Structure 1
Amino acid sequence: MAQCTLVSGSVALITLHSPPVNALSAVVRQGIVDTVGRALSDPKVKSVVICGQNGTFCGGADIKEFARPMSGPPLVPMIHAIEAGDKPVVAAIEGIAFGGGLELALGCHYRIAHAKSRLGLPEVSLGLLPAAGGSQRLPRLIGIPAALELITTGRHVTAAEALKLGMVDQVTEQNTVEAAVKFSQGVAGRSVDACRLSARPCPSPPDLDALFEEAMQRVRQSARGAIAPVACVQAVRAAATLPYLEGMEREKELMATLFNSGQARAMQYCFFAQRVVGKWTLPNGARWDTSKARHISKAAVIGLGTMGRGITVALAQTGVSVIAVETQERQLAEAKQAVSGMLERGAKRRGGASPLGLVHYSPHLQAAADVDLVIEAVFEDMALKKEIFHQLSAVCKPGTLLCTNTSGLDVDCLASKTKKPELVVGMHFFAPAHVMKLLEVVYGPRSSPEAVATAMQLGKRMGKVSVAVGNCPGFVGNRMLKPYMEQASFLLEEGATPELVDQVLEEFGFAMGVFKMSDLSGLDVGWRIRKEAGQTGPGVPSGQPMRVRQGRRYSPLADLICEQGRFGQKTGRGWYQYDKPGGQVASSDPWLHSFLEEYRAQNGLVARRINHQEVLERCLYTLINEGFRILEDGIAAMPQDIDAIYVFGYGWPRHRGGPMFYAGMVGLARVLEKLEHYHQVHPDVPYLEPSSLLRRLVASSSPPIQRWMQVNKMSQSQL
C-alpha cells in the first residue's frame, strides 16, 4: 500500500509500505496511483515526496507476480503520470532503489539519496531488462556509456557514485525524508519541464555506431549465450537513436521476448533457489534451521595455502578476529604478505578501512586455544587431517566448533578423532575463498543442529550462499564433478580433443571447459589424492588392464600426463600449453595431440569423429544423473540445493538454471532415453545407468521440479 500525509503545510509525503523491501506489488501500485493523483489535484499541495517505510525506498517489482496474470495498474503509465505532473515530485531514497524502484525514482523530477543507499537496475540478472522506462530514461540522465555498463551488468552503485554519475541530485547523511521535504519546498512553484527525463534528448557521442558495436561484442563475449544482456544493448540503442515513445515501444517488444523465454524462467528459478536452499531436517530428526546459531567473534584457520589465505580474508572482512596458523616458516611469511595485500585491496575497493588488525599469525596450533571456531585448511591428506583434529580436540576449549575445509574426505572419520564429534562439520569453501559465493556445510551423522546452524550462519555473514549437505565422498559438488570429468577423458580416448570438449562446454555457457578448468586448478591435486588412495598404476588390483579399475572403465590420461610433470598452468603445461609457468592463456599443444594418438595406438583404440551433441550429452547428463542419485541418497534435500551449488560454485551458467532445472527444461524423458543409449554403448561405465529416481519421475509424467521430492518420498515410503 501507499499512505499519504501532508507535512510542513504543503508537501504530500507518500510512503510505500510493503515489507520487507516495499516491492511494487499490485496493491502498492494502486496505492501510488491513488495517492499521487490526489496530491497532484489538491491545491494545498505544492510538492510531493515519495519514500519507503522502514528505511528502504523500493526493491523493485514483486517477482512472485511474474508467474500470475497481470493485475492492478501497469507500472509504465503509473510512472508516466508522476513525471507528467506539474508539481515537483522528489524521490527520497534510503536503503535500496533497485529495478522498478529506481525506475520509479527516475520518473520523479528529483532524487535525494542517503549516503548509505544503493541504486541499480539488476533486471538482467533475472533474464530481463528494465522495462518501465529504465532503458530509455537512464541514458538520457547519465549518458550512453555509463547507462550501458549499469544496465547490461545489473551492477549496484553507492550513493556517492550515483551522485558522481548524475543519477541523484543530492546525497545526505542526515534524515533523508526531512532533506527531501526541505528540497521539495525549495523547488515548489518552479517549472518541472526540464526535469522530465522522457523529454530530454539522449546525449549522442559522434562515434555512436562504433560505441554500440564495441558494447555488443563485449556483452556477447561475457554473456556466453545469455540473451538478456544483448537485449539490454538493443534497448539502450533505441534510446540513443529513436524518439522517446518509439524507444519505449522497442523496450516493450524486447521485454516481451525475454519475459517468455526459458532463460528468464531459469534465472528467476535461481533467484528463488538461492533463498530456499539448505532448510531441512538432519538424519536424527532435528532441524538445524530452527536451532540457535552461536555468534562467532574469534576463529582460527589452520594451514595458510591458497584456501587458508582466502578463508582468513573472508573471515576478517566479516569482522571476525582470526588466528592464522601455519607451521612452515616460509609459508607463514608468504601468507602474511598475501593476506595483507588481499585485505588492503578489498578495503580500497569497498572504500572502507582495512581489517588488517583482526588477523594474528602463529606457527603453533596452541594459538587456537581460546577461539570459538576452527577451520582446518591443510592439503587433502587424511592422515594429516586426523592428526590435526586429534590435537585440536586437546588444545581448544571444550565448546569450540571444529570445521574442515576438505573437498571430499570423510567428515565423520575426522570427527571420530575428537572428544566431541557433535561439534565437527565440514565448511567446504571454493577458491578463491574470499570471492566465490558458495559454501557447502557438510554434516556427519553425529553433527549437532547447533553446529550446522552456526556454520550456516557464519557463511551467511560472509556473504556466501550456504547449502547444508550430507557426508559422502565428494559431498554434492565434487561427487557430481567426478563422472563429468571422467566422461570428458573417455571422449579424449575415443577421438575428441581438449579443445573440442572445452569449446562445446563454453558454448553452452561455462566460463571454462573441463580441461582448462583442470589446468587452472592444478592436475597434481587430484593425482596426489588418487595415488594416496592406491588408484593409480598399471592396474588396481594388480593384474587388471590399465584402463580398468575395480571392474569398471577407468581413464589414466590425467595420471599419465602428471607423470610427465605437466600439472597445468603452474608448470606451463597440462592439457594445454602456456607461454610460461603460471601463464593463463591456453593454446593448443602439439605434444598433447601426439601423446593422445600414441596412447590410442597402444591401447587398440580407433579414433572416431565425435560431434558437439555427444560431448554435451555425455558430460552433462552423467552429471545430472549423479544429481538424481544424490537426491535418492538424501545427501541433498532438494534439487534447488544442487542447482545452487553448481551455479554459485562450479560456474554452471545461470541462464541455464542449474543442472537439475536444465534436465527439466530439456525433458526428463529425453535425459532418460539418452542415458539408456550411452549405457548400452558403454556398459562398463555403471554411472551411465539411469537412476531409479529419474525413472520414477518419468513414469510419473515428469512433474515440475518443485514436486520431485514428493515422488521421491512416496517411492521411499512404498519401499
Structure 2
Amino acid sequence: MAQFTVLGSVGLISLRNPPVNALSTHVRQAIIDNLKRALSDPKVKSVVISGHGGIFCGGADIKEFAKKLSGPPLAPMIHMIAAAHKPVVAAIEGSAFGGGLELALGCHYRLAHSKAKLGLPEVTLGLMPAAAGTQLLPRLIGVPAALNLITTGRHVTAAEALQLGIVDQVIDHNVLAEALRFSESVAGQPLDARRISTFPCPRPSDLDALFEEATRKVRQSARGAVAPLRCIEAVRAAATMPYAQGLELEGKLMATLMNSEQARALQYSFFAQRAVAKWSMPSGARWDTSQPRPVRRVAVIGLGTMGRGIAVALAQTGLPVVAVETQEKQLVQAKQAISAMLERGAKRRGAAPPPDGISYGTDIQAAADADLVIEAVFEDMALKEKVFQQLSAACKPGTLLCTNTSSLDVDHLAAQTRDPELVVGMHFFSPAHVMKLLEVVYGSRSSPQAVATVMQLGKKMGKVNVAVGNCPGFVGNRMLAPYLEQAFFLLEEGATPELVDQALEEFGFPMGVFRMSDLAGLDVGWKIRKENGLANHGLVAGQSATIRRGRRDSPLGDLLCEQGRFGEKTGRGWYQYDKPGGRVARSDPWLHSFLEGYRAQHGLVARPIDHQEVLERCLYALINEGFRILEDGIAAKPEDIDVIYVFGYGWPRHRGGPMFYASTVGLPKVLEVLERHHQAHPDVPHLQPCDLLRRLVAGGSPPIHKWNEVTGKFHSRL
C-alpha cells in the first residue's frame, strides 16, 4: 500500500493504492511505519513521499466514511510528518486532493508537476478538510485565499498553487527525479521554519468584515448547504486561535457534519454519479461492456443556440467537427458566436483556444464523411423526420445518427433511416458547452454498441451521461411536467409567482419555476403547444378549475404569451424587468391583477397557501412521476433520476436528488401527502400515488438501493 525504498541517502515512500492512491487505513499505517524506518535509518538523510501511476493522492477513501474509523487517524500522521527531524518532500504529480493535499501540507517542501491539480474538495461531500487542512492552509497562503479554496472545493493548477504559495516549485519534467535531487540538497538544513503549524496566521486588519462578507456570499451561493458555513467557522478559528485550539474546533465542527443528512446526500450523489455508468440494454446486452465504434469526425446539423453549444463542446475535445446550417444568415452569425464561445472557454480555463477544427457547410451532404452526426434543428417532428431521411441517404454506412430532441419519439426518428439500430438520442442541456448533463436515449432498436459509442463521446466532452429509455420527455422533462403543472395550479388557487419561487429557492433551487420560465422564454413552450394543438383550447370556464379532456389544465402561460409577455426578452413575463433583456426581476402589479381576474372568470376563490404546500405539491408530484418512470423501466435505478435532476435541473446537491430526498422524508410520508392532496384535487392524475410507491411502502419501505428488487419485473418485460 506504501512502498519504501532507499535511494542513496533518500528514503522514498511511494503510495500504491490504485486508482487514486487513496489514504485508506492500510495506506495510513504503511506511511507511518515507513516514515519511522526512514527516520531511524542513519543512512537516510531526507525523505520523499510520492504517488504511483501518475497520481500523488486523491485523498481519503470515501468508502470508509460510513464505517467506524479504524487504523491511525490522518491528522496525527500529518503532524508526525511535520515533526520529523529529517526533511520530507512531497513530489506531486497528477492530483493532490483532500487528504492528499493535507498530506502534502504536512511535508516540509512541496514540488509539483506543471500539469498537476490541487484542492480541498471535502465541502462538496458535505464535510471539511479536517486533517488540519482548515488550520494549515490559512497559515500558509492567508485567510482570503484559503477561504475561497476551502468553501468552494475548487481545484487549482500547479501554476496557481505556486502563485498562492501552496507549492515551492513547479517542474515541467520528471517531478520525482527532481524531488529526489532537491531532498538531497536540503538535507541537514533547519526545519522549524518549514513546519506550517508554527506559522502565525496572517490577520487582515478588517478581519471581521472579511468573514461577514464571506458568510454573506456563501449563504447566497450555498443555498442551504451547511458545510461551507462550518468551513468559515474553522478558518476563522485559524485566524483567531492558537493552532491547538483551532484544531480542536475543527474536529468538533467535522463531527457535526460527518453524520449529517446533507453529508449523506452529497456522498450518495458522489457514488450515484459513478453508478450511472453501469446499465444493460433491454435485450440484456450491456452497453458499458460493448466496444464503442471509433469516432474520428463528427457533424452537427442546425446551428441555433443548442447546435452552437454542441459544436463548441465537440471542438473542445479536439475532434474535427462539420457544422451545417442551411440558412446563410444564421450560418454567419453561428460562425461568429462559436468562435467567441471557444475563446471565452479557453480564457476561462487559462489555456490557448483549441485549433480551429470546425468546418462549415450549408448542405447536409457536408456531413457525408462523419462517423457520428448530431441533429440539433428546431423541435418539430416533421422537420426532424426530413433531416433524418436526408442523413440516412447522405451518410456513409455505419454512421451513427443522433438527435438532440428533448422529448420527441426517438423510435419514430429511427424509423426514417435505413439502420435504426444506429440511432440514439443525445439530449443536451442549454448551454450545451457548459451544462454537464447528457441524457442518452436508447430506442427499442438502438444497439448496445451505438449507446456505448455515444456514452464514450459524452465522457470525452466532460459530460455526466445517463442512459434512459424512450418515452415523451424521457426522464428529466417527463418529471418536470407535473412540477410545472402544480406551480400553475397554485397560482390559480391563490399563490403568487413570488411565493412559489421563494419556497423553491429556500429549498435550494437556484431559481424558482417562474423566474426560470422568464429566463428561458415563455414563448418556447407556447410555440410547441400551439403546433400540437394544446395551447389555450378546449377550456371550460365557470367551473372549480379549468378542464381539458376531462382533467384539470391551466392556460396561464399561454394567456401571458398572448399578451406578448415572453419573459426577460420582452421585459415582461411572470415578473417585470427594467428593459427587454433585463435580469433583475421585480413583482408586477399587472400580473397580480391578471390572476385575480382569471380566478373570478373561472370561479376560483383565492385561499392562503404556505411554503410547505408549495413544496409538497411541486416536489411530491415530481417524485411521484419519478416512481412511475422506475416502474416503467425508463430509468434503470433511482440514482439515474437523481443524477439527472442534480446536474440538469438544479436540484440542490446537498439534498441528493428527488428520489434520495423521498427516501429521507420517508416513503410512508410521501404516500400520505400525495393521497391527501389527490383527495383535495381528484382531477389531477399526477397527484395520485403510483403503484410502485404503494408497493414499496407495503413492503416496509426498503432503503433506496433495494428499490430495484421491487421494480425488476417491470424491467424484464421491456
Q: Give the TM-score band, short-chain normalised.
A: over 0.9
Which runs of 5 or more residues in structure 1 are unaligned? none
Structure 1 window deviating more from structure 2 (629-638 vs 65-74): it is 65-74
Where 1:67 maps in the other structure, the secondary structure is coil
Where 2:356 maps in the other structure, the secondary structure is helix
Equivalent position of 1:200 in the other structure: 199
Task: Quote the offset at 1:547 in angstroms.
Answer: 1.9
Task: Please give the residue correspondences for 1:245-644 in structure 2 after superposition, counting only pairs within 5 Å.
Answer: 245-539=244-538, 547-644=546-643
Task: Quote the offset at 1:356 in angstroms.
Answer: 4.8
Task: For 1:3 and 1:452, locate their aligned partners in 2 and report how far apart those are by CA, in whole Å.
Answer: 41
Query: Aligned letter for 1:697?
Result: L
For residues 124-159 of structure 1, the C-alpha deviation after alignment (integer angstroms, 9 at most, x for no partner) is 000000000100000000011000000000000000
Equivalent position of 1:102 in the other structure: 101
Equivalent position of 2:131 in the other structure: 132
Taking structure 2 as the reference length, the TM-score comes to 0.98
Equivalent position of 2:708 in the other structure: 709
Where 1:442 maps in the other structure, the secondary structure is strand
Contact conserved, 1:89 with 1:109, CA < 8 A, in 2?
yes
Structure 1 window deviating more from structure 2 (686-695 vs 622-631): it is 686-695
Where 1:342 maps in the other structure, the secondary structure is helix
Where 1:357 maps in the other structure, the secondary structure is coil
Equivalent position of 1:169 in the other structure: 168
Contact conserved, 2:539 with 2:546, CA < 8 A, in 1?
no
Contact conserved, 2:323 with 2:361, CA < 8 A, in 1?
yes
Equivalent position of 2:116 in the other structure: 117
Task: For 1:166 and 1:715, locate their aligned partners in 2 and report how far apart those are by CA, in whole Å.
Answer: 57
Contact conserved, 1:382 with 1:409, CA < 8 A, in 2?
yes
Task: For 1:233 and 1:192, locate their aligned partners in 2 and report how far apart those are by CA, in whole Å.
Answer: 30
Q: 1:273 to 1:67 in 2, by over 3 A?
A: same
Contact conserved, 1:325 with 1:362, CA < 8 A, in 2?
yes
Where 2:674 maps in the other structure, the secondary structure is helix
Task: For 1:122 and 1:716, locate their aligned partners in 2 and report how far apart those are by CA, in whole Å.
Answer: 37
For residues 66-110 of structure 1, the C-alpha deviation after alignment (integer angstroms, 9 at most, x for no partner) is 111111111111111110111100000010000000000000000
Where 1:609 maps in the other structure, the secondary structure is coil
Task: For 1:575 and 1:286, locate their aligned partners in 2 and report how far apart those are by CA, in whole Å.
Answer: 48
For residues 544-593 of structure 1, the C-alpha deviation after alignment (integer angstroms, 9 at most, x for no partner) is 99922221100000010011111111111111111111111111111111
Task: Quote the offset at 1:10 in angstroms.
Answer: 0.8
Task: Quote the offset at 1:297 in angstroms.
Answer: 1.8
Contact conserved, 1:490 with 1:555, CA < 8 A, in 2?
yes
Structure 1 window deviating more from structure 2 (494-503 vs 586-595): it is 586-595
Equivalent position of 2:4 in the other structure: 4
Equivalent position of 1:648 in the other structure: 647
Task: Quote the offset at 1:295 in angstroms.
Answer: 2.4
Q: Percent identity?
A: 74
Task: For 2:373 and 2:25, locate their aligned partners in 1 and report how far apart those are by CA, in whole Å.
Answer: 48
Contact conserved, 2:122 with 2:129, CA < 8 A, in 1?
yes
Taking structure 1 as the reference length, the TM-score comes to 0.98
Q: 1:34 to 1:43 in 2, by over 3 A?
A: same
Task: Quote the offset at 1:172 in angstroms.
Answer: 0.4
Equivalent position of 2:214 in the other structure: 215
Equivalent position of 2:235 in the other structure: 236
Task: Quote the offset at 1:3 in angstroms.
Answer: 1.1
Contact conserved, 1:112 with 1:180, CA < 8 A, in 2?
yes
Q: 1:629 to 1:383 in 2, by over 3 A?
A: same
Task: For 2:407 and 2:543, locate their aligned partners in 1 and report how far apart those are by CA, in whole Å.
Answer: 27
Equivalent position of 2:147 in the other structure: 148
Contact conserved, 1:538 with 1:546, CA < 8 A, in 2?
no
Equivalent position of 1:52 in the other structure: 51
Task: For 1:655 and 1:584, locate their aligned partners in 2 and report how far apart those are by CA, in whole Å.
Answer: 27
Contact conserved, 2:633 with 2:714, CA < 8 A, in 1?
no
Equivalent position of 1:669 in the other structure: 668
Task: For 2:716 and 2:304, locate their aligned partners in 1 and report how far apart those are by CA, in whole Å.
Answer: 46
Query: Aligned letter for 2:135?
Result: Q
Task: For 1:476 and 1:717, locate their aligned partners in 2 and report how far apart those are by CA, in whole Å.
Answer: 19
For residues 208-241 of structure 1, the C-alpha deviation after alignment (integer angstroms, 9 at most, x for no partner) is 1110110010101100000000011111000000
Where 1:54 maps in the other structure, the secondary structure is coil
Task: For 1:538 and 1:112, locate their aligned partners in 2 and report how far apart those are by CA, in whole Å.
Answer: 69
For residues 411-468 of structure 1, the C-alpha deviation after alignment (integer angstroms, 9 at most, x for no partner) is 1111111111111110000000000000000011011111111111100110100000
Contact conserved, 1:488 with 1:514, CA < 8 A, in 2?
yes
Structure 1 window deviating more from structure 2 (534-543 vs 522-531): it is 534-543
Contact conserved, 1:127 with 1:264, CA < 8 A, in 2?
yes
Task: Quote the offset at 1:537 in angstroms.
Answer: 3.3
Task: For 2:395 and 2:228, locate their aligned partners in 1 and report how far apart those are by CA, in whole Å.
Answer: 51
Task: For 1:551 and 1:356, locate their aligned partners in 2 and report how far apart those are by CA, in whole Å.
Answer: 57
Task: Quote the offset at 1:538 in angstroms.
Answer: 3.3
Aligned residues: CA RMSD: 1.6
Contact conserved, 1:278 with 1:641, CA < 8 A, in 2?
no
Task: For 2:635 and 2:712, locate their aligned partners in 1 and report how far apart those are by CA, in whole Å.
Answer: 13
